[in-house]
Amino acid sequence: MLYTIPRKSLARALVRKQVDRLFEKALQQPEITAWVAANDEVALWALDLLAEKGVRVPKEISVMGFDDRTEALQERLTSYNFNFRAIIPAMIDFVLRKERSLAHRMRKPLEIEGTIIERQTVCSRAYAST
């Protein structure tokens, strides 16, 4: 019987491999004190890699995600929670702006308010050195 890996899983594995390479490079630079990931899934990958390498989070490095998924709460990951409910009206307003061209509309930034949900993966450098 032939087993094939679903495309989504294969794509995720390939992305993870590339991201892990970036993490490895970042670990070689001691001046980097925090990693901010594009989303919580990538931040959780970072936590996995750091644990494998014996790097203490947040004492040695801080990690933060972006989107505050359920997994972030479960893993005590600090994450940025942006206001999902505000995105749709803001996007509709952006599309329907009276300015004619997209370039003209892009001059005014689209701002969505959010909140940093601080858990146990970040700390100040002053705290970390104590």
Read off the pLDDT band of 53 (50, 70, 90): very high
120 alpha-carbon distance from chain centroid: 15
Q: pLDDT tens digits, residue range 16-25?
A: 888 899 999 9
Buried b (16+ CB within 10 A) or exposed e, 11-26: eeeeeeeebeeebeee
In CATH, the number for domain 9-83+114-128 is 3.40.50.2300
Given a cut of 90, is residue 73 above it in pLDDT?
yes
Order of strands across the sheet that contains 34-36: 34-36, 62-66, 78-82, 114-117
Domain boundary assignment for the chain: 9-83+114-128
Closest CA to 116 of 63, 71, 75: 63
Q: In angstroms, rounded to a whole number, what is the distance separating the alpha carbons of residues 77 and 14?
A: 24
pLDDT score of 1 more than 50: no
User: Cα 88 to the chain's mean position, in Å?
Assistant: 21
